[in-house]
Amino acid sequence: MNNDYETIRLEISDEGIAHIILNRPRVLNAIDSVMMREVTQALSTLQQQPEIRCFVLSGEGRAFSAGFDLKESAAAEERKVQDWRRVLEADFDFIMQFWDCPKPTISAIHGHCIGGGLELAVACDIAIAGEDAIFGEPEVRFGSGIVAMILPWMIAPKHAKDILLTGNDQISASRAAAISLVTETVCQGKHIDRAFEKAREIAAAAPLSVELTKRAINRSFDIRGMRNALLAAVETDIVIEASGGAERVEFNRIRKEQGLKAAITWRNSR
């Protein structure tokens, strides 16, 4: 297995657990195009190997992930509708590959887990959060949209609306557990240990039974219409991103002239 990656680290345990570590700590593991390509390569290759029984996904440094890389987005040329469709469909597929993976996936979360990072963590089958984890979806606060609107399918609709319509990005680990955003919380620094405990339990079970059971659970969501609803939400996001708006224009102006930190400060002050 090639482990010569720029933005991730990959570790394989003797128990058949593949550990994918997001490794852009200086930018809180913001998801850029290189990370998307490398994670997808690792996941798609390893899930075909029978000795791999489970995946653990975590982040290096101070955070799980701050979401999609806004600096990379700002550096791109002005996009038309067809450009946004290509970008957002790729983002959606990147997140949902953890839901669609035939082998179980576990996210081990600490620090900030924001925007696309939250969607990525929730798309995993099990989510373990350290008590220092902070969750949120701030997109509406700067005129953006949700890439994979999986949240309303994982938690109660009123909690989902409370988070998504306010752009709240200060959700504590305890609240995340109370509303079933994560499976459980553990002491700070123990999130990876607990994720591996769960992964070992899965790896010790009969692999065919595990795979078919996960498929049956996911199929029940498809029967209820989740996949079609998520794809419709992508279409909504395309409209939002292509339309812009006053908040989006001002956020991007500050971001280009003063930097991302200043743009976020402006967003938070409103």
31-47 tens-digit pLDDT: 999 999 999 999 999 99
In a 13 Å sphere around the CA of 142, the CA atoms on its Cβ side amount to 22
Distance CA 161, CA 142 (A): 17
pLDDT bin (cut points 50, 70, 90) of residue 90 is very high
Interatomic CA distance for residues 125 and 211, integer angstroms:
12
As a whole number of angstroms, the distance between CA 243 and CA 266 comes to 21
User: Which tokens is 66 given?
Assistant: 């701050």
- How is residue 68 annotated by DSSP? B
With 60 as the cut, is the pLDDT of residue 53 above it?
yes
Q: How far is 30 from 145, CA to CA, in rounded Å?
A: 17
**Would you call 185 helix, strand, or coil by DSSP?**
strand
pLDDT surpasses 80 at 267: no
80: phi > 0 → left, psi -120 to 50 → alpha, else beta; which?
A: beta
Pair type for strands 105-109 and 126-130: parallel
206 has a pLDDT exceeding 80: yes
pLDDT at 250: 74
Q: How far apart are CA 270 and CA 265, in angstroms?
A: 9
* pLDDT higher at 4 or 202: 202
The pLDDT of residue 58 is above 80: yes
Per-residue model confidence (pLDDT) at position 157:
95
* Residue 130 CA: distances (Å) to CA of 39, 67, 108, 174, 220: 23, 18, 8, 9, 30
Q: Which two tokens stand for residue 162?
A: 């409370």
Report whether pLDDT(264) > 80: no
**CA-derived radius of gyration, the chain:** 18
Is the predicted pLDDT of residue 270 greater than 70, yes or no? no
Cα 248 from Cα 239, distance rounded (Å) = 13
pTM of the model: 0.92
Question: What confidence tier does 80 reach under pLDDT thresholds 50, 70, 90?
Answer: confident
Both structure tokens of 232? 């419709």
| Overall average pLDDT of the 259-265 stretch | 71
